[in-house]
Amino acid sequence: MKSDDWLTRQDSPEEFSSILHQRTEELYRIPDGEPDSEGFIEAPVLILRDIVVFPHMISPIFITPGPNLLAIQDAQFNFQTNIALVQRDPEVEEPHPNDLLPIGIEMAVGRLLSMPEGNSSALVQGRRRVEVVEFTQEEPFMKVKVRPIDEPTEVDRQTDALMRTARDLFDRCVQLDRSLPEEAHLFSLNIAEPGWLADMVATAVSLPFVERQSLLMLPDPQERLKRINRLLAQELDVLQLEDEIQSKVQNEVDRSQREFYLREQMKAIQTELGEGDIWTREIVEIRARVDEAGLPEEAKSAALKEVDRLTQMPPMAPEVGIIRNYLDWILELPWSQITEDNLDVTHAAKVLEEYHYGLGKAKDRILEYIAVRSLKPKRSKQPILCFVGPPGTGKTSLGRSIAEALGRKFVRVSLGGVRDEAEIRGHRRTYIGALPGRVLQTMRRAGTVNPLFMLDEIDKLGADFRGDPAAALLEVLDPEQNFAFSDHYLELAYDLSKVMFITTANTIMSIPLALLDRMEVLEFPGYIEEEKIEIARRFLIPRQMEESGLDIREVHFLDSAIRRIISEYTYEAGVRNLEREIGRMCRKVARMKSEHKHHPNRLGPNSVERFLGPPQFFQTQAESQDEIGVATAIAWTESGGDIMPVEVLILEGKGSMQITGQIGEVMQESAQAGLSYLKSRSRSLNISPDIYEHLDVHLHIPEGAIPKDGPSAGITIATALISAFTERKVYKEVGMTGEITLRGRVLPVGGVREKILAAHRAGLKTILLPERNMKDLIDVPKKVRDDLNIIPVNHMDQVLEVALHPEVEKPSRHRKPIAKEKDEGEKEQPEQAPPE
C-alpha cells in the first residue's frame, strides 16, 4: 500500500477491510519493549489528551504536529513501542510530566497517514499497563522509564464470579444499546483473562473519560472487574430507562397510527354506506343552529368549540352523545327570548281579582310592585317576595296570576328536600349523566329570559356535606350576582337578572336566615269557613265542574253541602282538600250522567255523604264534656292551627313528673314551670303542701303523635295541673294560649290568627288570649271575632277563674290527712270522677 490517504479514499468495502487488515498486521509486528537489567523499559511518550486506549485494544488516533508526532517518529525509527500517558486534565494545553497519570500503556503505533493541515492519523494497539519510574527527557518530546505491570491471569472462584457477572451485564447492555455490535458479546465470551475482559468491556461501552482514567489506574484485575460491573449496572439502568421511554413513545405512535388507520377505514365504510355524509350534514346543521341561536359571544364560542370537537370524531364515539347533550342545553336555554311586560296596574288588578277571593294584603303589595316597575322600568331593585302560609292558601295560584297579569311565562320548581348544592347548580360535565341544576332546567322550560320563577318550599331546604344549597340559592336571588350565575354543567355565565323570583314557604321559622334577610314576607294565613265557601262557590266548583265536563246549570252545590265538606271531610287552613273533594263529587256525578243514571241536580249535605262516604273528621274537636285534669290549648302548626287537649293524671307515687306525647324540650320546661307555680300557690288553692311527695304526675298531650313544642301551651298545662290537684273541672269550650312565668304571669305568643281560626273551626266558644296579643285580632275576620268570646288575660288567676268550675265544698283526698287518703285512693282517681 503506497497511498498515505487511505482514510479519505473511496475504496470498496472489500478493499477497505483488506487495507485495515494489512495495517493491523503491521502493528503486531512491532515488538514489546525489552526490559533492562533492572526490569525497566525506556520509550518516547505519546500523550493522550482525552482518550484511553486499553491494552489489547486497537484504535485509530489523531495526531497534531508537535511532541507526539516527534515521539512516534522516533519510536518508529527504532522499530519500538511508545509509552502512552494520559492527561489528568484534558484542558491542559502543554502538559508537563506532573500533568500525566502515573500509570500508562505501552503501545504500538502503526504507519502514519497524512491528513489535511499537517495532521496525521494512525492505528494504535495497546500492549500492557506500565508504571512510570522516571522521565528521562522532556524536550523536544518526553521520554520515560517505566516498569511493565504483570497482571495475574489465573482465575479463582471470586474472579470467575466477577467475570460471569461482567459478561452477563455486558450481554444485557449489548441487547439494549443499539450502538454496540451484537458480536461484542461473543467476543467477551472468548476472553479468558480477567483484566483483559474488564478492559475490553470498558472499551466497548460508552463511559465518561474520568471513568476510563480510573479503570486505567486499577492494575488489579479483580478490582477492575468489580468497578466495571458497577459501571455496567448503572449503564444498564440508564439503558433500560431509555428503552422504556422509547417503547412508550413507540406505543403512542403505534396507537395513534392505528387509530388514524381505523378512522380512515371507518370513514371509508361510512362513505360506502352513505353514513359519512349524514354525519357531516348533521354537524353542518348543528353549526348552523349555533350560528343562528342568538347566543352571547361567550356561549357561542364555547358551542362552536364543541362543534369542532364533534367534527374530529366518528359518529359512534362515546363522547359524541355527551357533547351533543351539552350543545342541546346551550341551544335550548333561552339567551335572548324575552316577553314584554304589561305594567298596566288596572289590568293587573283585574286579573288578580278575577282569579282570587280575598288575599287583600298580598294583592295590594303586588300591585305596588308592578306600579314601581312601570315608573322605574330599568334597574328597579325590588325585594324578592316570599309567600308564606299553610298549603292550599293560594300562593302558587296567585303567583300564576301575577305572571298572567304581567304577560310573563310562569315556571316553578320545588326545593323541598334539596340537600345537595349540585341540585341547584348542576354537576360537572365529567360526571356520567351530568345535567345542569334545577335553576337552569327550569329556565329551559320557561323558554324566556324573564319568566316569573317560583321557588317553592324554601323552608324545606336541607344542607349536608355535599355543600349548602342555600348558599347557591342566595347567588340565584342576589341581583348583584345573578346576572352571571354559574352552573357547574354549563360552565358559562348565565344571566338571571331579568327573572322575577317569588319564593314560597309554609313557615318562616325554618327558612335559612341569610335567605330570609333578602326577602319580603307576604303572609297567606288561611281561610275561615265563610271565606272557603265563597272561594268554593266562585272558583273551585266552576273549575271542577268544567274539568269533569259538567255544566254549571245542570248541577248546583248547596252552601250546606260545601259547609259539610269543609267541616267533616277536610281539616285544613287552605282549600286544597276542599277542592279535591269537590272534584271527586263532580266526577261521581259526571259518571252517573254518562251512564244515563239519574243524578241529583242539587247537591246537599246528604249527597256529600252519599258520594264521599262517611265523614272523615268531626264537627268539633273539643271535649264532649267538662273534665277534671283536661284543658284545651290552641296551637300553631305548619298547616294552620289546631286545638290540642292537655291531660294530667295524678297517681300515688314519690313526687315525680312523667311527660308523654312527642313533646319537645321547651314544652317540658313549661310543664315544670306550671308545676312549680302550682306548688307555690298551694295555700291559696287549698292544696296541702306536703301532698306532692306522695303523688306522681303524668302529663300527656295526645293527638296524632305529631311533634309539639313551644312555650305557648304554658297556661294550658298549668290549668290542667291545677284542675287535677283541686279536682275542679275545666269548661270544655274554653281554649287558651299563652306562656307562663313562675309567678303566674301570662306572656304573649305568636300565630294568633291561625290559632283563633283553628279554635273557631274546632267549635270552641271562649278563648283566653294574652292581653298583649289582643292587637293581633285585627287580622282575624270579623265574623270569627263575633262568634267567639275572646278574653284578654294577664295572670293565671284570671285564667283559672274563667276555665275552671267554681270550687265545690266536698271532701277531697288531696285536702285530707295523707294517712286516710291512702285508703280511698283508687276509686277517686280524677279520670274516674263521675260526670255531673
Q: Which of 145, 395, 732, 755 is catalytic?
A: 755
Whole-number minimum distance, CB 405 to ligand ADP, in Å?
15
Residue 456: helix, strand or coil by DSSP?
strand
Q: Which is nearer to ligand ADP, 16 or 357 (CB)?
A: 357
C-alpha distances out from residue 492 to 288, 423, 485, 812, Å: 20, 17, 8, 80
Contacts of 19 (CB under 8 A, 6+ apart): 1, 6, 11
Contacts of 739 (CB under 8 A, 6+ apart): 670, 711, 712, 714, 715, 746, 747, 748, 749, 770
- Are 740 and 675 in contact, with CB atoms under 8 Å apart? no
539 touches ligand ADP (CB under 6 A): yes
Whole-number minimum distance, CB 344 to ligand ADP, in Å?
22
Q: Which of residues 585-644 bind ligand ADP (CB under 6 A)?
A: none
Only one of the segments 144-152, 234-242, 411-419, 570-578 lies at the binding site for ligand ADP (rule: CB under 6 A); that segment is 570-578
Whole-number minimum distance, CB 576 to ligand ADP, in Å?
5
Closest CA to 723 of 826, 819, 796: 796
Whole-number minimum distance, CB 527 to ligand ADP, in Å?
7
Provide the mask over 329-368, with x wherever binding to ligand ADP is found by CB under 6 A and - wherever it is not.
---------------------------xxxx---------
Residue from the set 287, 373, 460, 576 that interacts with ligand ADP by CB under 6 A: 576
Q: Which is nearer to ligand ADP, 325 or 396 (CB)?
A: 396
Q: Which helix (H) or strand (E) holds 163?
A: helix 157-176
Site residue total, ligand ADP (CB under 6 A): 18
Residue from the set 575, 612, 721, 724 that interacts with ligand ADP by CB under 6 A: 575
Q: Which of residues 154-213 bind ligand ADP (CB under 6 A)?
A: none
Whole-number minimum distance, CB 543 to ligand ADP, in Å?
7
Whole-number minimum distance, CB 442 to ligand ADP, in Å?
17
Return d(Cα 544, Cα 638) in angstroms, integer. 27
- Which DSSP state fits 100? B
Q: Which is nearer to ligand ADP, 201 or 780 (CB)?
A: 780
C-alpha distances out from residue 403 to 336, 355, 410, 478, 637, Å: 19, 12, 6, 21, 30
Return d(Cα 242, Cα 221) in angstroms, integer. 31
579 touches ligand ADP (CB under 6 A): yes
Residue from the set 55, 95, 221, 392 that interacts with ligand ADP by CB under 6 A: 392
Return d(Cα 524, Cα 826) in angstroms, integer. 51
For 33, the grid coordinates are: 519493549
Q: Which is nearer to ligand ADP, 55 or 526 (CB)?
A: 526
Within 10 Å of residue 628's Cβ, how many Cβ atoms?
23
Return d(Cα 452, Cα 415) in angstroms, integer. 16
Whole-number minimum distance, CB 259 to ligand ADP, in Å?
57
Which amino acid, residue 435? L
Whole-number minimum distance, CB 799 to ligand ADP, in Å?
35
Q: Which residue is nearest to ligand ADP (CB)?
A: 394
Whole-number minimum distance, CB 746 to ligand ADP, in Å?
33
Within 10 Å of residue 525's Cβ, how many Cβ atoms?
23
555 touches ligand ADP (CB under 6 A): no
Q: Can 712 be counted among the known catalytic residues?
A: yes
Looking at beta carbons, which pairs linking 17-24 to residues 24 or more positions away fall under 8 Å?
23/110, 23/111, 23/123, 24/58, 24/110, 24/123, 24/125
Q: Which is nearer to ligand ADP, 392 or 714 (CB)?
A: 392
Q: Which is nearer to ligand ADP, 52 or 359 (CB)?
A: 359
Closest CA to 803 of 705, 751, 758, 737: 737
Only one of the segments 236-244, 326-334, 373-381, 571-579 lies at the binding site for ligand ADP (rule: CB under 6 A); that segment is 571-579
Return d(Cα 421, Cα 424) in angstroms, integer. 6
C-alpha distances out from residue 671 to 439, 647, 715, 722, 805, Å: 46, 12, 9, 12, 22
Whole-number minimum distance, CB 341 to ligand ADP, in Å?
23
Whole-number minimum distance, CB 415 to ligand ADP, in Å?
14
Contacts of 256 (CB under 8 A, 6+ apart): none
Whole-number minimum distance, CB 420 to ligand ADP, in Å?
24
Q: Which is nearer to ligand ADP, 146 or 348 (CB)?
A: 348
Q: Which is nearer to ligand ADP, 687 or 780 (CB)?
A: 780
Q: Which of 712, 723, 729, 732 is catalytic?
A: 712
396 touches ligand ADP (CB under 6 A): yes
Residue from the set 194, 195, 394, 674 that interacts with ligand ADP by CB under 6 A: 394
Only one of the segments 389-397, 405-413, 738-746, 804-812 lies at the binding site for ligand ADP (rule: CB under 6 A); that segment is 389-397
* Max Cα distance, the chain (Å): 157
Only one of the segments 161-169, 568-576, 637-645, 730-738 lies at the binding site for ligand ADP (rule: CB under 6 A); that segment is 568-576
Only one of the segments 147-155, 391-399, 415-423, 430-438 lies at the binding site for ligand ADP (rule: CB under 6 A); that segment is 391-399
Return d(Cα 583, Cα 565) in angstroms, integer. 12
Only one of the segments 96-104, 311-319, 390-398, 820-828 lies at the binding site for ligand ADP (rule: CB under 6 A); that segment is 390-398
- Are 328 and 440 in contact, with CB atoms under 8 Å apart? no
For 201, the grid coordinates are: 468491556
Concatenate the DSSP letters of all residues of 283-296 into one string.
Answer: HHHHHHHHHHTT--
Name 519's bridge partners: 384
Residue from the set 184, 197, 492, 535 that interacts with ligand ADP by CB under 6 A: 535
Provide the mask over 54-73, with x wherever binding to ligand ADP is found by CB under 6 A and - wherever it is not.
--------------------
Whole-number minimum distance, CB 446 to ligand ADP, in Å?
19
577 touches ligand ADP (CB under 6 A): no
Cell 300565630 belongs to: 751
Phi, psi (degrees; rounded to nearest 5) at 510: -105, 20
Only one of the segments 137-145, 478-486, 569-577, 645-653 lies at the binding site for ligand ADP (rule: CB under 6 A); that segment is 569-577
Q: Which is nearer to ligand ADP, 293 or 384 (CB)?
A: 384
Only one of the segments 82-90, 573-581, 671-679, 690-698 lies at the binding site for ligand ADP (rule: CB under 6 A); that segment is 573-581
Contacts of 749 (CB under 8 A, 6+ apart): 710, 711, 712, 737, 738, 739, 755, 770, 773
Provide the mask over 493-532, with x wherever binding to ligand ADP is found by CB under 6 A and - wherever it is not.
-------------------------------x--------
Return d(Cα 478, Cα 514) in angstroms, integer. 11
Only one of the segments 67-75, 236-244, 575-583, 729-737 lies at the binding site for ligand ADP (rule: CB under 6 A); that segment is 575-583
For 564, the grid coordinates are: 259539610
Residue 316: helix, strand or coil by DSSP?
coil
Q: Can 755 be counted among the known catalytic residues?
A: yes
The catalytic residue positions are 712, 755
Residues in contact with ligand ADP by the rule CB under 6 A: 356-359, 391-397, 524, 535, 539, 574-576, 579
